Amino acid sequence: MTEVTVARTPESVAEPRAATGLMELDGMLEGGFPVGSLITLTGKPGTGKTIFGSQFLYYGAKKLKQAGMYVSMLEGEKSFLRNARRIGFEFEPLMESKTFAFLEIPAPTAEGLPALWEQIAREIDENQTERLVIDSFTAMSPAFQTVGDLRTFTHVLLGKIVGGASGCTTLMITEEGTSGAFPWTGVEEFVADGVIYFRLLAAGDARVRYIEITKMRGTNHQMGPIPIDIGPRGIRIIHPHVRGRLG
């Protein structure tokens, strides 16, 4: 049996945090994600990445009055809003109050990438967006010819959004196990400030969901698997402190 440990880094001056909306998880992250950071949410389809991103935006807009935007290359607005209502996230009133926006765009080509990011950056400035979810980085991968193109693009153009004056905290969804995966998949994790994996494992006759924080710059964070549950109010942490190993 092993016991979850907590990574330790030297003491530093506290920095502003973007609460996730999951109280227990925020407690494991010194209050949430560093404001202005880029966090990747990685996992197979159906593991809770979209719900986590939606919950992050809903909490920010509803409780903190922080404008959020969901950029989707995979799901239409009507489908997103319908699925969100099923877990208690009523985004329509937030859209009316301009604290939430949904941007539906097609998967870009190599030639269209600069225009895409300029459009996102413009929307962020116009709406004073503080929270952003991009779904998904995987959908953009075919637009890159080489790993060098991907690395340069991610550093330069994501810097406009994440590292710019807006200080927008961004969650970027990445799909694992999709067919036709490109050999440079994973580079986005290298440039990200934080990485959270979403897993769904068999445990006897049941299926167990959990997340694992493998990277969070400037943060003393929980290490090891963190079991979660998806219910009528979104995601919740089942056991903040896990003993043993899943799977």
The string of pLDDT tens digits covering residues 211-238 is 999 999 888 887 889 999 999 889 999 8
Which regions of 83-182 does DSSP assign to beta strands (E)? Answer: 100-104, 131-135, 169-175
Which fold is adopted by the domain 17-237? Answer: Rossmann fold (3.40.50)
- The residue ranking higher by pLDDT, 103 or 155, is 103
Residue 16 to residue 32: CA distance in whole angstroms: 9
How is the beta sheet containing 100-104 ordered, strand by strand?
A: 100-104, 68-72, 131-135, 169-175, 38-43, 194-203, 206-216, 226-231, 234-237
Q: What backbone torsions phi and psi does residue 188 show, to the nearest 5 degrees? A: -60, -30
Confirm if 56 and 132 have CB atoms less than 8 A apart.
no
Confirm if 140 and 108 have CB atoms less than 8 A apart.
yes
Residue 195 to residue 215: CA distance in whole angstroms: 5
Give the count of beta carbons closer than 10 Å to the beta carbon of residue 155.
13
pLDDT for res 166? 58
Give helix 147-161 / helix 113-127 axis angle, nearest 10°: 20
Q: DSSP letter string over 3-36? A: B--B----------EE--S-HHHHHHTTTSEETT
- The residue ranking higher by pLDDT, 151 or 83, is 83
Q: What backbone torsions phi and psi does residue 112 show, to the nearest 5 degrees? A: -90, -5
Tokens for 63, please give them. Answer: 């409780």
pLDDT for res 158? 65
Banded pLDDT at 8 (limits 50, 70, 90): very low
pLDDT for res 58? 98
Residue 39 to residue 27: CA distance in whole angstroms: 17
Please enumerate in sequence order all residues whose Cβ is within 8 A of that of 166, keeping only pairs 6 or more positions apart, or say none.
124, 125, 128, 129, 130
- The residue ranking higher by pLDDT, 227 or 246, is 227
- The residue ranking higher by pLDDT, 122 or 188, is 122
- Pairing type for strands 68-72 and 100-104 reads parallel
